């Protein structure tokens, strides 16, 4: 089947789609990875970064960068050299810098740890936050587009506030930062693409299914009709199996509740569909990527019970009534996701960076990044700084990191909170016990992708009557329009003539031979890291050409910018029925992993084994409470 040419889909178009400092960052990372670095290696790394700095234009304000973002080139190479290759680094340059607290990671949990440290040990505590990326916030990343003439915001990672699950600690935290989640709900008209008259929809691409076909008002979790199923371009046998499955009478109703629970918790959802739903392979494939966004997992990693809890069909085989498909997930959200929450936290910790920021205007506030790391400030936030070692010493802790200039620096503090992901910590703290190291390595992060595409307008989508589409045959499992958010002072017209962000959301399918969940996650991560920005751009353009081209979308002219937020270490690992036992209280890996280690404690959502913003805040509170006086 002939693919559209790069020229036709606009791959040669001169849009703002390259990261200005990728080359310099990669060169610096490569120099530091070399192992036997010596002074010349560090000099080369420093020169590479300096060369990149000279080429910067808008690159000094990270939110406006396009191209490969998230875990961008230069942010992870040194950590990979340490963890994957066992690289040996030269002696660091000892500095005179000494702090009360050094936080490794300036994401939500790291920033919250700094906040709680000030509350416990005093507002004048000297705190240094070290962040390996060129922007703060961790996964709560802000994507800011100006290519249409007006600012368009989009989310680059963590984006929901599940306010109904907040602890007292998190509710108090939100109040201190002026966040009113229920008030935010009143300023939102966004429901993940459930508003358009023909949504949700599923698009079948020609490469995978032999035809480009958009099937509207279509949802696998609802009870499909014969007419719905006849539109699906799979084999006759596959369509017949779906008809029998969706219309079947209860066949397992004689099972006891215990028997049903044992079965559903011990079999993957695809295997359940094959063995008890009678679906053919091409019918099962329709479900494979349905949880790429929400869970970040291929459906074969999820038990039948977990899938049915999420609303996927199958309970009717046990005599349960079909439930109406209703979207009842009343999250609070900003137009840049939880990046606005992070910005409120930074403004509170480093007031000189945004002295007038409030919850009412934070989405429209520009931050002064030059003010983040000022010598006399109580809190300093240092970007482009990858930590490679954290050691307990007589005076507290010693922390070694690679600076943005390509030098290895050593700083010290009374305490340290590690707000980085768990599986890197054994490499940062080699003196930890083998038991704690094993517990930390148990939790493998779940990769995720959010690719934001700035469209000239939404006319083609409006003509089709859709604002969300599932794409079972493509890299990104789902896309949706990101509009209808008027929080944080952000206001934009919702008319079809305005530029708008289209979010491509999902993960990467693991290799077929990856059996257990950790192999699946590591395989997905490696595949993600091997994809170039051009690979993502070509994918986006190919999808939009096939999906929206028939409605008048010119893929060569109507794409204004593309930002790929890739997160190889994305969601925190949550225990799954097929792969994890039920531990006694205190014996789960995350509980063992987060134990204090001398003057070092551990935060992050990994420490709560739950991928939510409120969990990251709760764990920051606990980590600071674990510090000894």
Give, for 533, the enclosing helix (H) or strand (E).
helix 533-548
Can you give the pLDDT at residue 292? 97
Tens digit of pLDDT for each residue in 169-195? 999 999 999 999 999 999 998 878 778
Averaged over 513-537, what is the pLDDT?
97
Cβ neighbours of residue 420 closer than 8 Å, sequence gap 6 or more: 104, 105, 110, 387, 428, 604
- Report the DSSP beta bridge partners of residue 564: 68, 451
Can you give the pLDDT at residue 543? 98
Task: State how far the Cα of 605 lies from the Cα of 447, in Å rounded to an integer.
Answer: 15
Q: Which of 567, 559, 346, 340 shows the shortest CA–CA distance to 455?
A: 559
Query: What letter would DSSP give residue 107?
Result: B
Cβ neighbours of residue 326 closer than 8 Å, sequence gap 6 or more: none
**pLDDT greater at residue 358 or residue 12:** 358
Averaged over 64-79, what is the pLDDT?
94
Tens digit of pLDDT for each residue in 203-262? 999 999 999 999 999 999 999 999 999 999 999 999 999 999 999 889 998 999 999 999
Q: Which overall architecture, per CATH, does domain 224-318 show?
A: Orthogonal Bundle (1.10)
Cβ neighbours of residue 584 closer than 8 Å, sequence gap 6 or more: none
Task: State how far the Cα of 622 lies from the Cα of 629, in Å rounded to an integer.
Answer: 15
Which of left, alpha, beta for 105 (phi over 0: left; psi -120 to 50: alpha)? Answer: left
Can you give the pLDDT at residue 406? 81
Tens digit of pLDDT for each residue in 276-304? 999 999 999 999 999 999 999 999 999 99
| pTM for the whole structure | 0.92
**pLDDT greater at residue 74 or residue 493:** 74
Averaged over 117-138, what is the pLDDT?
97
Question: For residue 528, is pLDDT > 90?
Answer: yes
Query: What does pLDDT average to over the chain?
Result: 90
Can you give the pLDDT at residue 36? 34
Averaged over 126-151, what is the pLDDT?
96
Averaged over 122-151, what is the pLDDT?
96
**pLDDT greater at residue 162 or residue 56:** 162
Sheet containing strand 67-70, edge to edge, reads 67-70, 559-571, 446-455, 500-506, 478-482, 468-470, 201-204, 213-215
CATH of 77-143+156-183+333-442+582-625, one of 3.30.300.30, 3.50.50.60, 1.10.15.40, 3.30.365.10: 3.50.50.60
Question: For residue 348, is pLDDT > 50?
Answer: yes
Strand duo 408-418 + 600-602: pairing: parallel
User: How buried is 54 (Cβ within 10 angstroms: 0-12 exposed, 13-18 middle, 19+ buried)?
Assistant: exposed
DSSP string, 554-608: -TTTSEEEEEEEEEEEEEPP---TTT---PPTT-SHHHHHTS-BTTEEE-SGGGG
Averaged over 398-410, what is the pLDDT?
92
Task: State how far the Cα of 355 lies from the Cα of 377, in Å rounded to an integer.
Answer: 14
CATH 1.10.405 residue ranges for the chain: 224-318
């Amino acid at each position: 089947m002939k693919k559209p040419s790069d020229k036709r889909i606009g791959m040669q178009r001169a849009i703002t789609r390259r990261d200005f400092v990728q080359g310099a960052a990669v060169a610096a990372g490569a120099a530091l990875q070399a192992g036997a670095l010596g002074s010349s290696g560090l000099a080369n790394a420093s020169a590479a970064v300096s060369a990149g700095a000279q080429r910067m234009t808008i690159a000094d304000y990270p939110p406006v960068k396009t191209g490969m973002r998230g875990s961008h080139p230069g942010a992870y190479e040194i950590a990979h050299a340490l963890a994957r290759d066992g690289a040996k680094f030269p002696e660091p340059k000892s500095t005179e810098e000494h702090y009360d607290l050094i936080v490794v990671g300036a994401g939500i949990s790291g920033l919250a740890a700094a906040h709680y440290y000030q509350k416990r040990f005093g507002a004048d505590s000297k705190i240094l936050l070290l962040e390996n990326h060129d922007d703060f916030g961790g996964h709560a990343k802000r994507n800011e587009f100006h290519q249409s003439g007006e600012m368009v915001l989009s989310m680059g990672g963590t984006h929901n506030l599940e306010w109904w699950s907040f602890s007292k600690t998190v509710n108090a935290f939100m109040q201190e930062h002026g966040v009113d989640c229920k008030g935010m709900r009143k300023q939102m008209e966004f429901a993940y693409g459930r508003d358009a008259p023909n949504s949700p929809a599923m698009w079948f691409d020609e490469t995978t299914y032999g035809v480009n076909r958009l099937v509207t008002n279509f949802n696998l979790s609802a009870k499909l009709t014969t007419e719905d199923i006849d539109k699906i371009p799979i084999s006759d046998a596959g369509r017949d199996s779906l008809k029998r499955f969706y219309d079947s009478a209860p066949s397992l109703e004689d099972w006891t509740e215990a028997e049903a629970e044992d079965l559903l918790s011990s079999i993957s959802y695809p295997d359940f569909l094959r063995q008890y739903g009678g679906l053919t392979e091409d019918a099962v494939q329709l479900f494979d990527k349905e949880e790429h966004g929400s869970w970040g997992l291929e459906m074969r990693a999820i038990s039948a019970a977990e899938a049915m809890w999420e609303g996927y069909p199958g309970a009717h085989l046990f005599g349960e009534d079909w439930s109406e498909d209703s979207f009842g997930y009343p999250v609070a959200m900003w137009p840049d996701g939880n990046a606005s929450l992070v910005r409120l936290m930074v403004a509170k910790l480093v007031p000189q960076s945004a002295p007038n920021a409030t919850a009412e205007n934070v989405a429209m506030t520009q931050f002064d990044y030059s003010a983040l790391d000022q010598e006399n400030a109580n809190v300093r936030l240092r970007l482009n700084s990858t930590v490679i070692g954290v050691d307990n010493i007589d005076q507290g802790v010693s922390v070694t990191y690679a600076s943005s200039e390509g030098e290895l620096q050593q700083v010290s503090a009374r305490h340290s909170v590690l707000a980085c992901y768990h599986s890197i910590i054994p490499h940062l703290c080699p003196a930890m016990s083998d038991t704690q190291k094993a517990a930390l390595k148990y939790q493998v992060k779940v990769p995720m992708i959010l690719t934001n595409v700035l469209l000239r307008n939404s006319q083609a989508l409006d003509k089709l009557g859709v604002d969300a589409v599932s794409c079972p045959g493509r890299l990104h499992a789902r896309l949706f329009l990101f509009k209808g958010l008027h929080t944080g002072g952000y206001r934009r017209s919702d008319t079809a003539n305005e530029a708008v962000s289209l979010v491509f959301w999902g993960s990467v399918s693991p290799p077929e031979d990856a059996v257990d969940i950790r192999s699946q996650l590591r395989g997905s991560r490696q595949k993600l890291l091997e994809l170039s920005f051009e690979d993502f751009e070509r994918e986006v353009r190919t999808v939009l050409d096939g999906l929206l081209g028939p409605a008048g979308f010119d893929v060569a002219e109507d794409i204004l910018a593309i930002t790929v937020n890739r997160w190889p270490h994305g969601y925190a690992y949550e225990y799954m029925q097929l792969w994890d036992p039920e531990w006694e209280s205190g014996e789960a890996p995350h509980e063992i992993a987060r134990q204090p280690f001398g003057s070092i404690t551990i935060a992050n959502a990994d420490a709560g084994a739950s991928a939510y913003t409120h969990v990251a805040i709760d764990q920051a509170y606990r980590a600071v409470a674990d510090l000894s006086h």
